[in-house]
Amino acid sequence: MAIWCTRLAMDRWRHSEACSEGEGADARPFALLGETAHGQRIEAVNAAGIAQGVRAGTRLTDARSLCPQLAVALADPAGDLAFLERLAVWARRWGPWSAIDPPDGVLVDVTAIAHLFGGERAMLEEARAIFARRGVGVRLAIAPTSGAAWALAHFGPEQAILDAAEPGAPGPGPSASSEAMVRLAPLPVDALRLEPDVLLLLRRLGLKRIGDLYRIGRDALRRRFRARHAPDADPLLRLDQLLGRVPEPLLPVVAVETPLVQRRLMEPIRHRPLLDQVVRDLAEEMGAVLERRGEGARRLELGLWRVDGEAVIRHLEMATATRDPAHICRLFAARLDDVDAGFGIELVRLRAPWRESNPLAQRGFDAAAEEDGTSLAVCIDRLSVRLGEEAVRRPATRASHLPERAQEWDMPLAADSSQENLDFGKRPLKLLDRPEEIAVLYATPDGVPHRFRWRGGLHEIARVEGPERIAPEWWRERSDARLRDYYRIEDDAGRRYWIYRHGIVGDGRGGPPRWFLQGLCA
Amino acid sequence: MSVPIRMSQAGPPSLALAGMALSSAARWRPGLAPASHSEIFSAGGEAAGAALALSLALDGMRAQGVGPGDPRMILWVQDRAALRLGGRPYRPGLPAELRGRVIHVAAKRPEDALFAMEEGLRCRDLACVIGELTGNPRALGLTASRRLSLAAERYGTPLFLVRLDAARDMSSARMRWQVRSAVSPPPRWNPAAPGTPGWRASLFRARAWQEGEWILHDDGRRLVAGSTPPATPDHGDLVHAAGDGSLASF
């Protein structure tokens, strides 16, 4: 579905002035200005201004000579674009995927969605009514390709629908889209979304309508425009995109079979208990849909569409595939706390974009025992929803000599990819995130210290094992990284630590070596 | 080395009285089923608390007859202060049978850590839950402690709560330990090196056991209580690691 906001800038201005069409400030001639190198130029004019002969594109001084009482304000193209972005997100109420079509259009993928709204005709009618209520003038069209929808929205009849006879018909056979060819033939070549100079060239060649291009051989067109490679400079490519003969990468292919359930609410809801009820209903319905398919959801996407044109999307990822409605509700409950309902939510939709196979299994005879306690996956889900993904991790080893680099943190339920290291050198039970410097007293700078001070406490070293020398990993680090000599020590009270000397005397990589405490042994 | 050895009858007079009242109670020894909820008090500057918690957990698992092939994970929860004070678990330094089985939760606040511990206790797929909290956070009152005890009893997952630098406050834990590192015995082949780690653990409050003090250490197969850990040969666990295979292939 292509949505073309015919007078986007003026509609936004009128909205900011809080007047409806033809009333208040809109009753007098008015124009929005843009700054150009040649002075101020008129970007958009209202109906009263057009009646006085003012046209978009003329200079302000020329327009003032025609219509001296013309009121002006500066246009706001950045605001228009931001509005369009919000509009594109909001327009996803009609389909799961939408794209901005600058400067004033939105494309929505409504493939396999229309039946939820009672057919394409009813969908367009609803969209037209909603836009009229918002005071945005639009032209709408539905077609099998985005190019055709764009062309019909801009140059076709009001609310045109081009039936998808064979939406994905492969091959360049002319019969595949013959109806589209007939319907699109009378449109002007401007409908091909081409650059102005290409359009001018086409007109000079006498090709004014799309139908005129059909009669010219493809070879001739290709030869004439062979130097042009950009899509908007190549009429042949644009024509093929229009008729669906070549894919248009603007629209990615959305997996049509994404499970999707939604509730359109008669009365917009503003309160949390009602929203919880709706989410519960949706989760149950989604659970039924997924169960039919023998799948479970890994990622869920809950969209809330508000009456005042905002959409809130909440994502959820789960450690394993699930379709348990109670579990889904519990997880979403934490995510919905900060939703601003505004003037009310009128449409709620639940999608499962990422699914995994989760076939039905017979419950074991000890099913009653399963009532006790949750499964590990559920536990991990609940922990990571409340504490964050980063908080729940599992240590894994990595190929590195440096102790702090030899351990990395994995997803908790990922397969354990660690290889066990040969543990000739004993390692501490716990490792500080950042080695802490200790003040040491030693007899010789290369030897073992007698005592050290750490966190204000004095430790007399009773037993030592070491050194275990770990050289810097030269393929990763700077050339002046220093080596480390690790010692496993026990102090006079029996406390066991893992300390190291950073560098050796005279290695030419900094001053006298410093000592650090890195680990606490069992 | 099944049984106890002995310990000083230490403790303040009130504890001694309680000990007399419970004189019929048995003495704790290693190799028994673990208490559902244990608290282990230890100083923040040493790893004795976490090490004893791991050893008690392993001891409990062995007592229940689950061997090293047990696939269940253990959940290790730390709040931010405990993480800063004592560091994170380091996989190469963990006991060999637990190395691949730790899920670590780094909670920001003590409240989050308590939540994570309770969720872990409710999970039937966990072998045990180890928690580390610093000081006496307001969130860990008698009510919170009781919640943990009830969850641990209801679902049968033991909880070992390590309290770093904490005062002995009110708690509903079934067993409460105070632990510090003990001087290790000199290894046979390198008497100057630190040996098998041992801990001086005193049980100062328990529901079913007498108070007492033990020197505990884990010899790799079971938890042993003794006045001094025996001198161990310095074979570096090579024989154990090689199993039935040839040492040369190792």
Give residue-wise pLDDT tens across range B105-116.
999 999 999 999
pLDDT number for residue A164: 62
Distance CA A229, CA A65 (A): 44
Where do the domains of chain A lie, and which CATH numbers do they carry?
8-76 (3.40.1170.60), 143-256 (no CATH), 260-361 (3.30.1490.100), 430-520 (no CATH)
Beta carbons within 8 Å of A385's beta carbon, 6+ residues apart? A316, A331, A334, A335
Please say whether the beta carbons of B68 and B97 come within 8 A.
yes
pLDDT number for residue A497: 94
Which comes out higher in pLDDT, residue A101 or A127? Answer: A127
State how far residue B101 is from chain A, nearest Cα, in angstroms.
8
pLDDT number for residue A94: 85
Within A4-76, residue ranges assigned H as helices are: 8-17, 47-51, 60-66
pLDDT number for residue A176: 46
pLDDT number for residue A249: 64
Which residues sit opposite A392 in a β-bridge? B105
A252 touches chain B (CB under 8 A): no
State how far residue B19 is from chain A, nearest Cα, in angstroms.
28
Across A162-176, A197-211, A353-367, least confident range: A162-176
Closest CA to A120 of A96, A150, A95: A95
Confidence of residue A68 (pLDDT cuts 50, 70, 90): confident
* pTM score of the predicted model: 0.58
Distance CA A461, CA A103 (A): 74
Q: Is the pLDDT of residue B104 over 90?
A: yes
Residues 87-146 of B with CB under 8 A from A: 87-94, 99-100, 102-108, 112, 115-116, 119-120, 122-126
A133 touches chain B (CB under 8 A): no
Q: Give which of A430, A432, A516, A517 to mutate to test B binding, by max B Cβ within 10 Å.
A: A430
State how far residue B7 is from chain A, nearest Cα, in angstroms.
18
Tens of pLDDT, residue by residue over B199-240, are 999 999 988 888 889 999 888 778 888 755 455 554 444 444
Confidence of residue A229 (pLDDT cuts 50, 70, 90): confident
Q: Is the pLDDT of residue A41 over 90?
A: no
* Average pLDDT, rounded, for chain A: 83
Residues 437-496 of A with CB under 8 A from B: 454-455, 457, 462-465, 488-490, 492-496
Distance CA A393, CA B103 (A): 6
Confidence of residue B76 (pLDDT cuts 50, 70, 90): very high
Within B87-163, residue ranges assigned H as helices are: 110-122, 142-155
Q: Is the pLDDT of residue B3 over 70?
A: no
φ/ψ of B116, rounded to 5, equals: -65, -40
Q: Is the pLDDT of residue A170 over 50?
A: no
Contact B47 A522 (CB under 8 A): yes
φ/ψ of A187, rounded to 5, equals: -70, 150
Q: How far is CA A404 from CA A470, B87, B213, in A?
A: 12, 11, 36
Distance CA A459, CA A442 (A): 13
Q: Smallest Cβ distance to B123: which of A376, A393, A430? A: A376
* Average pLDDT, rounded, for chain B: 82
Q: Smallest Cβ distance to B86: which of A420, A457, A520? A: A520
Q: What is the average per-residue pLDDT within A440-447?
A: 79
Q: Which CATH superfamily is domain B13-242 in?
A: P-loop containing nucleotide triphosphate hydrolases (3.40.50.300)
Q: Is the pLDDT of residue B250 over 50?
A: no
Q: Is the pLDDT of residue A367 over 70?
A: no
Burial of A158 (0-12, 13-18, 19+ CB in 10 A): exposed
Three-class SS of residue A516? strand
A424 touches chain B (CB under 8 A): yes
Residues 184-203 of B with CB under 8 A from A: 184, 186, 190, 192-195, 197-198, 200
Confidence of residue A57 (pLDDT cuts 50, 70, 90): confident
Across A59-63, A160-164, B180-184, least confident range: A160-164
pLDDT number for residue A441: 85
With pLDDT > 70 as the criterion, what percentage of chain B qualifies? 80
Please say whether the beta carbons of B174 and B37 come within 8 A.
yes
